[in-house]
């Protein structure tokens, strides 16, 4: 994980500030400004770029045909790959970001490993034979704290933007099947992302917990709680990170904050995504290198 070195005086300043007002003027439950842009990479089925503070994430989704898993013959599935760019922080040079990339990918698998997140049955073309596999590639371009939240927002936005070609299965008199893809770019299926959860990371700093911690605030926190929340405020999974401990009362308070903040985050994200889509071709594209 990217980190920043702080003096003891700076840590005291941040910890004391959290009790009332954070260093950048936010309250404990306030996010920084989030910039979301979809359809930024042309050769993908769906893509999104999200900036939260200076944390910058690019996600591309590629739909490819494959064979369903033996244990789930009538479902498609998602594969996650996370690349930590050396440009994000010098600590990611060489193989420095590999462990973090694996940790984030495992967290994403855990979030999406339930039937309610994405309708995987809609990705099945013919049971036991053909299905759509969605390869979700996450690229960390810049790191300024709160990686997990930003990545989840970007993944949800990219899945919302994903368009999968409509497929017809034709069967001849001998029983052999032939797959026909639609040539019409508008004849496609869309995934419902209504139940895709977002992670709300709550960092324990002093006696308080804050959402959307900066790198400086993360350096002052010994323990954080990752809460995966749906748009309805349902917690799907939790994970504690950091060397410190959390008492049961703090965990309960952090869960309640996560639910409350998560519902607002989902509502804002859905509003932005639908508003951007309603603009159609008129919307101004900033683009990946904009």
pLDDT at 94: 67
Does residue 129 lie within any of the structural domains?
A: yes
pLDDT tens across the length of the chain (290 residues) = 556 677 778 778 787 777 778 888 888 889 999 999 998 988 899 999 999 988 999 999 999 999 999 999 999 999 999 988 777 677 777 666 788 889 999 999 999 887 788 999 999 888 898 899 999 999 999 888 899 999 999 999 999 999 998 888 777 767 677 777 777 777 788 889 999 999 999 999 888 899 999 888 888 888 999 999 999 999 999 999 988 889 999 999 999 999 999 999 999 999 999 988 887 766 666 655 54
pLDDT at 207: 86
Query: Where in the sequence is the domain holding 185, given as residue range(s)?
Result: 8-168+179-281
pLDDT at 265: 95
Q: Give the CATH number, domain containing residue 30.
A: 3.30.230.70
Does residue 289 lie within any of the structural domains?
A: no
Residue listed under structure tokens 């979809």: 38
Measured CA to CA, the distance from residue 8 to residue 31 in angstroms comes to: 26
Does residue 220 lie within any of the structural domains?
A: yes
How many domains is the chain partitioned into structurally? 1
Residue listed under structure tokens 């995966």: 228
pLDDT at 184: 73
Does residue 225 lie within any of the structural domains?
A: yes
In sign, the C-alpha dihedral spanning 249, 255, 261, 263 is: negative
pLDDT at 287: 54
Helix (H) or strand (E) holding 99: helix 98-112
Does residue 288 lie within any of the structural domains?
A: no
Does residue 2 lie within any of the structural domains?
A: no
Does residue 48 lie within any of the structural domains?
A: yes
Does residue 56 lie within any of the structural domains?
A: yes
Q: Bridge-partner residues for 176, per DSSP? A: none
The whole-model pTM stands at 0.90
Measured CA to CA, the distance from residue 279 to residue 267 in angstroms comes to: 19
For 52, list phi and psi in degrees, rounded to 5.
-125, 105
């Amino acid at each position: 994980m990217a980190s920043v070195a702080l003096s003891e005086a700076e840590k005291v300043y941040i910890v004391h500030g959290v009790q009332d007002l954070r260093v950048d003027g936010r309250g404990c439950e306030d996010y920084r400004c989030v910039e979301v842009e979809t359809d930024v990479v042309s050769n993908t089925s769906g893509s999104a770029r999200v900036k939260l503070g200076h944390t910058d994430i690019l996600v591309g989704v590629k739909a490819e045909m494959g064979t369903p898993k033996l244990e789930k013959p009538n479902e498609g599935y998602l594969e996650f790959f996370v690349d930590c760019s050396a440009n994000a922080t010098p600590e990611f040079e060489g193989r420095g970001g590999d462990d973090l990339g694996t940790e984030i990918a495992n967290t994403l698998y855990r979030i999406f490993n339930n039937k309610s997140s994405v309708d995987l049955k809609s990705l099945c073309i013919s049971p036991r034979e053909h299905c759509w596999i969605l390869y979700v590639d996450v690229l960390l371009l810049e790191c300024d704290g709160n990686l997990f939240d930003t990545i989840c927002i970007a993944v949800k936005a990219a899945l919302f933007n994903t368009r999968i070609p409509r497929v017809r299965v034709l069967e001849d008199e001998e029983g052999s099947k032939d797959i026909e893809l639609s040539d019409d770019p508008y004849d496609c299926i869309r995934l419902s992302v209504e139940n895709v959860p977002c992670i709300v990371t709550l960092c324990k700093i002093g006696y308080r917990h804050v959402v959307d911690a900066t790198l400086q605030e993360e350096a002052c926190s010994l323990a954080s709680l990752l809460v995966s929340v749906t748009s309805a405020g349902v917690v799907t999974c939790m994970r504690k990170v950091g060397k410190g401990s959390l008492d049961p009362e703090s965990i309960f308070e952090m869960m309640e904050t996560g639910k409350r903040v998560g519902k607002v985050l989902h509502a804002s994200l859905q509003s932005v995504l639908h508003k951007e889509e309603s603009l159609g071709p008129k919307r101004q594209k900033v683009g990946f290198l904009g």
